[in-house]
Amino acid sequence: LIRERGIASVSIADVMGAVDLTVGGFYRHFDSKEALVSEAIEAASLETVGEMTLPSHGSQGPAEFRAAVARYVSRDHIADPGRGCPVAALAAEAAREAKATRAAMQRAVGRVVAMLEADGPKTKRERRRMFTALSTAVGAVILGRVLKGTRIGDELVASVRAELLEGD
C-alpha cells in the first residue's frame, strides 16, 4: 500500500482497513506510523532482493545479473509499484523523512549493493559499473512511472533495458 501511494498518502486507517481491522488496534502492533513505515520498507526490501536472488543461492553470474535487470527495468515492474522495489518507489520521499525511515531505506539500498557484490571481490572499475547500473535501473523505473503512457516513456524504458542488457 505504501509503495503504491507513498508514505504520506497512506493513513493508519487505510492500512488497518486493508486487513479489515479498525484504527485503534494498530498500536498493539506498532509504536507509531514511523515504525510501521520502517518495517514495511525493510520487509519490501527483503522480498525484492529475495526475488532477484532466487534462482542461484548467493553466487550470481552474469546470466543472473541480466535476468535481474530484465525483471527490474520492465513494463511489469513499472506498472505495479505496490509489488515492486521499495527503493524505486520511495527513495526520494524517504530521504525527507525522519531518521528511522531514512535508515531503513539506506539498509534497503545496502542490501541491493550486497547482492550485487555477492559473487566475490570486484575491481574498482567493476564497482563503478555496478553503482552506475544501479543508478540507471532505479532512475529508469522512476522516470518510466512518471512518463507512463507517453511515447518518450516507452522509448526511455526500452532504451535503458537494451543498453543495460547488452553490457556496453
Partner DNA sequence: TGTACATCAGTGAACGCGCGTTCACTGATGTAC
**Site residues, a second copy (CB under 8 A):** 4-6, 8-9, 87-96, 102, 105-106, 109-110, 113, 127-132, 134-140, 142-143, 145-148, 150, 152, 155-156, 159-160, 162-164, 168
Residue 122: count of CB within 10 angstroms of its CB = 13
User: Least distance from C-beta 110 to a second copy, angstroms?
Assistant: 6
* Minimum CB–partner distance for residue 119 and a second copy (Å): 18
* Beta carbon nearer to DNA, 23 or 113: 23
Contact status, residue 59 vs residue 115, Cβ threshold 8 Å: no
**Which residue in this structure is represented by grid cell 505496490?**
82
Interacting residues with DNA (CB under 7 A): 10-14, 16, 20-29, 32-34
Distance separating alpha carbons of residues 108 and 27, to the nearest angstrom: 25
Identify the helix (H) or strand (E) that includes residue 10. Answer: none
CA 44 to chain centre: 8
When CB distances are held under 5 to 8 angstroms depending on the partner's kind, the choice from a second copy, DNA, none that residue 92 binds is a second copy
For the CB of residue 20, give the shortest distance to DNA in the complex, in Å.
7
Smallest distance from DNA to CB 42, Å: 17
C-alpha distances in Å from residue 85, one per residue of 120, 125, 134: 24, 26, 12
